[in-house]
Chains A and B, each alone.
Chain A
Amino acid sequence: MQAQRRTDLPHPLAGLTVVELAEDPGGEFSGALLAEVGAKVIKVEPPGGAPTRQVGPFAKGEVGPETSLNFWYYNAGKLSVTIDLGGPEAPPPLLALLARADIFICTLQPKALRALGLDLERLSRDFPRLIVVSVTAFGLTGPWADYKSSDLVALAAGGPLNSCGYDDHSIPPIRPGGNQGYHSVASFAHIGVMLALLERQKTGLGQLLDISMHEACAVNVELANPYWFYPRVQVKRQTCRHAQPSPTQPALFQCADGRFVYFTLITTEQKAWQALVGWLDQEGLAAHLTEPEFSDAKHRQDHFSEIQEVVECFFLVHPSDQMYKQGQAAGLPIGVLNAPEDLFSDEHLAARGFFVEVEHEDLGKVTYPGAICRFSSFGEVARTRAPKLGEHTLAVLAETSNTEEDVA
Chain B
Amino acid sequence: MSETALRSPASAKGAAPQRSRTPGPRQGPLAGVRVTDFCWMGVGACATRLLADFGAEVIRIEDRQRLEMPRRLPIYKGEARTYGEEDANPDPNKGGLFNNYNRNKLGVTINMRTAKGRELADRLIASSSVVTENFAPGVMERWGLTYAHLKSLRPDVIYARMSGFGHSGPHADFRSYGPVVQAVCGISHISGLPGREPSGWGLSYMDNEAAFFNAAALLMAIYHRNNTGEGAEIDVSAVEAGIALLGPILLDVSVNGRSTRGDDFPTGNRLEHPNAAPHGVYPCLGDDRWIAIAVFNDDEWRALVAAMGDPSWAAEPRFATQAGRCAAQDELDAHVGAWTAGHDRHALMHRLQAVGVAAGAVQTTEDTIDHDPQIAGRGLFFEMDHPVIGEALFEGTPIQFSRTVQENWRSAPLLGEDNAYVCKSLLGMSDSEYEALVEEGVL
- Does A122 touch B at the CB level, under 8 Å? no
Q: Which of B1-59 contact A (CB under 8 A)?
A: 1, 4, 29-30, 42, 50, 54
B interface size (C-beta, 8 A): 165
- Does A188 touch B at the CB level, under 8 Å? yes
Q: What's the Cα separation between A333 and B204 when bound, in Å?
A: 14
What are 21 sample pairs from A and B whose C-beta atoms fall under 8 A apart? A1-B147, A142-B378, A148-B359, A177-B187, A178-B247, A187-B216, A210-B1, A214-B375, A215-B375, A219-B380, A224-B364, A225-B100, A228-B365, A230-B75, A231-B81, A245-B80, A352-B240, A366-B254, A368-B250, A374-B236, A375-B220
Q: What's the Cα separation between A338 and B373 when bound, in Å?
A: 40
* Known contacts A55-B274, A248-B83; A243 and B202 CB within 8 A of each other: yes
Q: What's the Cα separation between A375 and B168 when bound, in Å?
A: 13
Q: What's the Cα separation between A154 and B78 when bound, in Å?
A: 31
Shortest Cβ gap from A142 to chain B (Å):
5
Shortest Cβ gap from B190 to chain A (Å):
4
On whether the beta carbons of A207 and B404 are closer than 8 Å, the reply is: yes
- Does B266 touch A at the CB level, under 8 Å? yes
One of A61, A228, A341 near B369 (C-beta < 8 A): A228
Residue pairs across A and B with CB atoms within 8 Å: the count is 541
Least CB separation from B220: chain A residue:
A12
On whether the beta carbons of B216 and A150 are closer than 8 Å, the reply is: no
Most buried by A among B176, B222, B233, B400: B400
- Does B403 touch A at the CB level, under 8 Å? yes
One of B50, B75, B183, B249 near A226 (C-beta < 8 A): B75
One of B232, B378, B394 near A375 (C-beta < 8 A): B232
On whether the beta carbons of A240 and B216 are closer than 8 Å, the reply is: no
Q: Which residues of B contact A152 (CB under 8 A)?
A: 269, 271, 279-281, 292, 294, 360
* Known contacts A178-B187, A188-B399; A73 and B251 CB within 8 A of each other: yes
On whether the beta carbons of A372 and B213 are closer than 8 Å, the reply is: yes
Shortest Cβ gap from B36 to chain A (Å):
18
Q: What's the Cα separation between A124 and B400 when bound, in Å?
A: 14
On whether the beta carbons of A1 and B235 are closer than 8 Å, the reply is: yes
On whether the beta carbons of A164 and B202 are closer than 8 Å, the reply is: yes
Q: Which of A41-49, A198-206, A395-403 participates in binding chain B?
A: A198-206
- Does B207 touch A at the CB level, under 8 Å? yes
Q: B133-172 vs A: 1/0 string, CB under 8 Å?
A: 0000000000000010000000000000100011111111
Q: Which residues of A contact B415 (CB under 8 A)?
A: none
Q: Which residues of A contact B217 (CB under 8 A)?
A: 372-373, 375
On whether the beta carbons of B226 and A150 are closer than 8 Å, the reply is: no
A interface size (C-beta, 8 A): 161
Q: Which of A38-84 contact B (CB under 8 A)?
A: 54-57, 59-61, 69-70, 72-74
Q: Which of A89-97, A168-176, A281-289 participates in binding chain B?
A: A168-176
Q: Which of B360-391 contact A (CB under 8 A)?
A: 360-369, 372-375, 377-378, 380, 389
Q: Which residues of B contact A164 (CB under 8 A)?
A: 191, 199-203
On whether the beta carbons of A57 and B360 are closer than 8 Å, the reply is: no
On whether the beta carbons of B392 and A242 are closer than 8 Å, the reply is: no
- Does B414 touch A at the CB level, under 8 Å? no
- Does B339 touch A at the CB level, under 8 Å? no
On whether the beta carbons of A56 and B358 are closer than 8 Å, the reply is: no
One of A72, A183, A254, A336 near B183 (C-beta < 8 A): A336
List 10 tightest A-B contacts by C-beta distance, closest first.
A215-B398, A335-B183, A157-B360, A240-B200, A163-B202, A194-B219, A230-B96, A3-B168, A335-B180, A156-B292
